[in-house]
């Protein structure tokens, strides 16, 4: 009698497929996640990308080497300088030229400022993802100062086209070094403030510690790099492991996730590695500013860059991880083939692996902690 009260055949208890994005406040761009859920618990995630695909690599086959720089800008729009720098390093390696000392120092200062700016966005939006709104406005306020510096540098605030193959577009403007040091003096206490407000907040720790644990071997297998991998305790930073530019001259540490609040490789670790990296970047900038030599800001290059036939692969530690530019030249002034390794793409690929079994809210926190930029993933 009781058994017939509920006809179980008409009650569907299957999984529900939930579409998150492409228009969603927390997918950090036009990312679509197909989430298979059972109630709040996520069983499978399929990231669907390509909404921002702009044929970057194909365009590069039609553009001369100098013309590619504005396009690399638009790959990772939160760390444009890193993209330009990575590309320029690859081209310079292909040309096999030596750069003036001043160029390298300027590039390092700019790249580390850019890392601070990019991590500020990552940290702030991560706070936003777990529901804290105020840290975001604070970090954006501080990032504004970096952007102001960049504006005096090259006139642009987001897409700079500043670092070119063979040099930088302009020398530093007057007082740039003083203003940079002023910013750093201002910035160090701001990190403590951020830690007070967000990092050590009990609710924040509850939400992020022990959530979305990325074991080191899984991270390595999926090709995760950058702060997301270092959060798992893997000491891999191209600035140390494969020093490019002049990074071997500076004294800085590579912050690693230590599982202070939970397990090594959890969301909190990935977040906190970024906070610590900002301090290390500030350290590098101070050293570079102290040592900045005089000199030219362009290497002697012909007007049209024509590398000899050959191929090169340049690696670079951008704010999101290991950026690679593979360039194949056939002796013309346009590359025959250009392939970019996108760190955010590899970082995103691990999302499904580490967020199964967590809740929808956690998926958003995990996605935020991977710090993806869709412009770079889709290219």
Partner 1 sequence: MTSIFDSLQQSLAFLNLDLFMLLSLIALLGGTVIFLVMAVNALVAVYFERKVSAFMQDRLGPMEVGILGFKGGKKFWGGIGQTLADAIKLLTKEDILPKSSDKFLMILAPFIIFSGAFLTFIGVPFAQNIVISDFNIGLFYIVAMSSIGVIGIILAGWSSNNKWSLYGAMRAAAQIISYEIPIGLSLLLVVIVSGSLHLGDIVQWQESNRWFIFHSPFTFLAFFIYFISIVAETNRTPFDIPEAESELVAGWMTEYSGFRWALFFLSEYANMLIVCIVASIVFLGGWLSPLHLINIFPESWYILDGPLLGLFWVSFKAVILIFIMMWFRWTFPRLRVDQLMYVCWKVFIPFALANLFFVSLWELIF
Q: Return residues touching partner 1 (CB under 8 A).
A: 16, 18-19, 24-26, 40, 127-134, 137-138, 141, 197-198, 201, 203-204, 206-207, 359-362, 364
Dig out the tokens for 176 from the structure. Answer: 């740039």
Q: Specify which residues 44 forms β-bridges with.
A: 36
Nearer to partner 1, 120 or 305 (CB): 120
The residue among 79, 346, 363 whose CA lies nearest residue 236 is 346
Dig out the tokens for 194 from the structure. Answer: 């951020």
Nearer to partner 1, 87 or 204 (CB): 204
Nearer to partner 1, 335 or 368 (CB): 368
> Least separation, in Å, of the C-beta of 179 and partner 1?
20
> Least separation, in Å, of the C-beta of 126 and partner 1?
10
By three-state DSSP, how is residue 8 classified?
helix
> Least separation, in Å, of the C-beta of 192 and partner 1?
16
> Least separation, in Å, of the C-beta of 21 and partner 1?
11
The residue among 85, 162, 103, 111 whose CA lies nearest residue 281 is 111
Nearer to partner 1, 24 or 74 (CB): 24
Q: What radius of gyration do the chain's Cα atoms show?
A: 22
The residue among 278, 63, 274 whose CA lies nearest residue 165 is 63
Own/partner long-range contacts of 9-15 (Cβ < 8 Å, ≥24 apart): 15/43
Nearer to partner 1, 24 or 179 (CB): 24
By three-state DSSP, how is residue 350 classified?
coil
> Least separation, in Å, of the C-beta of 211 and partner 1?
9
User: Would you give the distance in Å from CA 195 to the centre of its chain?
Assistant: 21
> Least separation, in Å, of the C-beta of 82 and partner 1?
26
Nearer to partner 1, 19 or 241 (CB): 19
Nearer to partner 1, 88 or 369 (CB): 369
The residue among 113, 72, 140 whose CA lies nearest residue 289 is 113
The residue among 149, 152, 145, 121 whose CA lies nearest residue 135 is 121
> Least separation, in Å, of the C-beta of 346 and partner 1?
24
Half-sphere exposure (CA, 13 Å, Cβ side) for 6? Answer: 3
Q: How far apart are CA 142 and CA 132, in angstroms?
A: 17
Q: Specify which residues 37 forms β-bridges with.
A: 16, 42
């Amino acid at each position: 009698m009781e058994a017939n009260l509920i006809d179980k055949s008409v009650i569907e208890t299957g999984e529900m497929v939930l579409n998150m994005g492409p228009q969603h406040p927390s997918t950090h761009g036009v990312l679509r996640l197909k989430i298979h859920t059972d109630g709040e618990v996520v069983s499978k995630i399929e990231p669907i990308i390509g909404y921002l695909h702009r044929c970057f690599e194909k365009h590069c086959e039609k553009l001369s080497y100098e013309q590619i720089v504005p396009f690399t800008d638009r790959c990772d729009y939160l760390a444009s300088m890193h993209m330009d720098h990575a590309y320029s390093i690859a081209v310079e390696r292909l040309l096999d030229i030596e750069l003036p000392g001043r160029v390298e120092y300027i590039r390092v200062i700019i790249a580390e400022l850019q890392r601070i700016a990019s991590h500020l966005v990552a940290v702030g939006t991560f706070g936003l993802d777990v529901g804290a709104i105020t840290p975001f406005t604070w970090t954006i306020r501080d990032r504004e100062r970096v952007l102001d510096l960049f504006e005096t540098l090259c006139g642009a605030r987001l897409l700079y086209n500043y670092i070119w193959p063979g040099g930088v577009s302009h020398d530093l403007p007057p007082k740039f070094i003083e203003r940079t040091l002023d910013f750093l003096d201002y910035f160090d206490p701001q990190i403590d403030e951020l830690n007070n407000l967000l990092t050590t907040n009990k609710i924040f720790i509850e939400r992020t510690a022990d959530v979305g644990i990325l074991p080191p071997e899984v991270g390595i297998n999926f090709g995760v790099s950058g702060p997301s991998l270092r959060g798992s305790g893997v000491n891999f930073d191209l600035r140390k492991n494969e020093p490019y530019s002049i990074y071997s001259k500076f004294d800085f540490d590579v912050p690693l996730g230590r599982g202070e609040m939970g397990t090594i490789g959890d969301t909190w670790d990935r977040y906190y590695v970024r906070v610590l990296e900002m301090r290390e970047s500030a350290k590098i900038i101070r050293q570079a500013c102290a040592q900045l030599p005089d000199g030219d800001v362009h290497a002697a290059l012909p007007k049209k860059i024509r590398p000899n036939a050959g191929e090169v692969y340049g690696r670079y530690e951008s704010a999101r991880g290991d950026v690679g530019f593979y360039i194949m030249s056939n002796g013309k002034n346009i590359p025959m083939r250009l392939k970019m390794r996108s760190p955010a793409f590899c970082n995103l690929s691990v999302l499904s692996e580490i967020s199964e079994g967590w809740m929808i809210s956690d998926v958003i926190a995990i996605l935020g902690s991977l710090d993806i930029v869709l412009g770079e993933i889709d290219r």
